């Protein structure tokens, strides 16, 4: 893959996870194109061909609604999250887009200071590199390794 | 190090760990040259100068045998694994090869959904960049931090 | 950001964490410029505008003192550490320096083999790329997610 594209994708992902870890959730929808697809699902669902996931949004407006709900529910503030991602595997997509697969682990830090593994999985992204605001996600599929999902609704992944 | 080489190594490692995490074990031997060396050992062993490890293979045929055993033992399917690797540290090696050192953490996800740290350590790789099938491992030494090895035989690392 | 700069920063960080994980602590001060600032603090402190941290050093001599204390206290040897870092987010700084933000997780491996999450957080670095010894940290602020700090004094982060 082109070196410049590889690093653009890597930078987009680094900015994305740092925005979430900084609790700058209001900036989260801006990482997506206006028409987009954001899906959180499990590896089990994907293997069984089940299209549904736990979270599904198809526009920036839906993503913003979601952030508003999180803020009102106020569930997010008591803990911190930290994403660590591996190097993205980038391939050419359709219409000038690129596809990227990236492994991730997220740890959760309780307000007591206790730290635990919160989630692991892979991002399967379609990315538009050009546009007025630079690289953005056209589609982001978050494939979780675990199907324990009780608290997963609390945080963008 | 040359930028292009750095990214080639990073991509090889990203593809390698994603193949394992996807349970595409039959593709695992293809990441190695026909004549190769695959060794799983511990940091303690390395520091004491002990050449032996828990797993040792010197050809693609031995790696394929190993995958067959794993499939027959059927121990692998009940859980998932997720590798997260840091940026590889790449240096020139002998005969046009490169050497790469890469930190990794592997988490294991049980079928109940429970997630735990499975292994941590570093890869010490010798990589041939050119060849009919692109970049491959000539040697991969997996140096584990922990000497708790009971279940380690279950998975390529 | 310039591709070459991005990879220089990534390599500096990779070498830095591998030196710590290898227990080559005497090499640790050499990753900093002679006049430097090394601060370990918590996200909570940063958000409350508290300038103080748990560890603070402003010169290579102070860093070397710290390593000497660690060696004398002999607390470090019984366990191992493994850092995994994500891709650094690099931006231009002042006077030709660059700024980098990098997520990290550190696991600790006890001599019994038990592995646990030891720390998570982000590095906020100011880096001088040129100089007789290559890229070095002018400032390294280690922002920990957790305020559980009891054992943190044992290891450079």
Q: Do A85 and B84 touch (CB under 8 A)?
A: yes
Kindly report the nearest CA distance between residue A89 and chain B, in angstroms: 6
Give the residues across from B155 on adjacent strands: none
For range C49-75, the mean pLDDT: 86
User: C118-121: long-range contacts (C-beta < 8 A, 24 or more apart)?
Assistant: C118/C81, C118/C151, C119/A115, C119/C144, C119/C145, C119/C146, C119/C152, C119/C157, C120/A82, C120/A84, C120/A107, C120/A109, C120/A115, C120/C144, C120/C145, C120/C146, C121/A82, C121/C43, C121/C145, C121/C157
ipTM of the modeled complex: 0.92
Å from A49 to nearest chain C CA? 31
Task: Give the mean pLDDT of C7-19.
Answer: 97
| pLDDT at position B36 | 95
Angstroms from C116 CA to nearest CA on chain A: 9
Q: Please tell me the distance in Å from A87's CA to the nearest CA on chain B.
A: 6
Cβ separation of A105 and C103 shorter than 8 Å? no
Residue C75 binned pLDDT confidence (cut-offs 50, 70, 90): low
Q: Are C138 and C33 in contact (CB under 8 A)?
A: yes
Q: What is the mean pLDDT of each run of 10 residues along chain B (157 residues)?
A: 90 97 95 94 91 86 91 73 97 94 95 91 96 89 86 69
- Give C76's DSSP letter: S
Question: Are A128 and A33 spatial neighbours (Cβ–Cβ below 8 Å)?
Answer: yes
**Res A132: pLDDT:** 72
Q: State the alpha helices, DSSP H only, in B3-136.
A: 3-21, 43-47, 60-73
**Contact in structure between B29 and B64 (CB atoms under 8 Å):** yes
Q: B14-35 burial by CB neighbour count: b if 16+ within 10 A, else e?
A: bbbbbbbbeeebeebbebbbee
Mean pLDDT on A6-27: 96
Neighbours of C144 (CB within 10 A): 29
Structure tokens at C73: 């206290």
* pLDDT band for position A130 (cuts 50, 70, 90): confident
Q: How far is C122 from chain A (nearest CA, A)?
A: 9
Nearest beta carbon to residue C3 from set A3, A85, A107: A3
Neighbours of chain C (3+ CB pairs under 8 A): A, B
Q: Is B82 on the interface with A (CB under 8 A)?
A: yes
Measured between beta carbons, which residues in chain B are less than 8 angstroms from residue A152?
Answer: none
In tens, the pLDDT along C108-138 reads 998 888 999 999 999 999 999 987 778 999 9
Whether A21 and C85 lie within 8 Å, measured CB to CB: no
What average pLDDT does the segment C80-85 reach?
Answer: 96
When pLDDT is cut at 50, 70 and 90, the band that residue A137 belongs to is very high
CB B80 within 8 A of CB A145: yes
Mean pLDDT, rounded, for C21-42 = 94
Q: Please give the Cα distance from C23 to C156 (Å, whole number).
A: 10
Which chain C residue is nearest to residue A13, measuring alpha carbons? C87
Report residue B12: phi and psi, to 5°. Answer: -60, -45
> What is the DSSP-derived secondary structure letter of residue C27?
G
Cross-chain residue pair B120–C109, CB shorter than 8 Å: yes
Structure tokens at B81: 């694994």
pLDDT in tens, A58-81: 999 999 998 998 888 765 557 899
Residue B132: what pLDDT?
Answer: 72
Residues in chain C within 8 Å Cβ distance of B105: 82, 84, 105, 107
**Residue from the list B7, B84, B114 with its beta carbon closest to the beta carbon of A84:** B84
Judge whether C85 and B86 are in contact, CB under 8 Å.
yes
- Per-residue pLDDT tens over the stretch A18-54: 999 999 999 999 999 999 999 999 999 999 998 778 8
CA–CA distance, C128 with C32 (Å, rounded to integer): 9
Q: Does A82 touch chain B (CB under 8 A)?
A: no
């Amino acid at each position: 893959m082109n070196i410049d594209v590889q690093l653009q994708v890597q930078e987009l992902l680094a900015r994305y996870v740092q925005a979430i870890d900084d609790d700058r959730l209001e900036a989260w929808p801006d990482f997506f194109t206006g028409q987009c697809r954001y899906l959180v699902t499990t590896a089990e669902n994907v293997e069984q061909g089940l299209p549904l996931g736990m979270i599904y949004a198809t526009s920036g407006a839906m993503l913003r609604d979601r952030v508003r709900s999180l803020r009102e529910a106020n569930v997010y503030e008591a803990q911190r999250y930290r994403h660590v991602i591996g190097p993205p595997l980038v391939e050419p997509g359709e219409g000038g887009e690129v596809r990227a697969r990236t492994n991730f682990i997220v740890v959760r830090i309780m307000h007591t200071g206790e730290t635990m593994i919160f989630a692991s999985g892979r991002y399967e992204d379609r990315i538009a590199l050009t546009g007025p605001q630079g690289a953005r996600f056209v589609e982001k599929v978050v494939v979780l390794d675990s199907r324990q999902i009780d608290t997963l609704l609390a945080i963008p992944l």
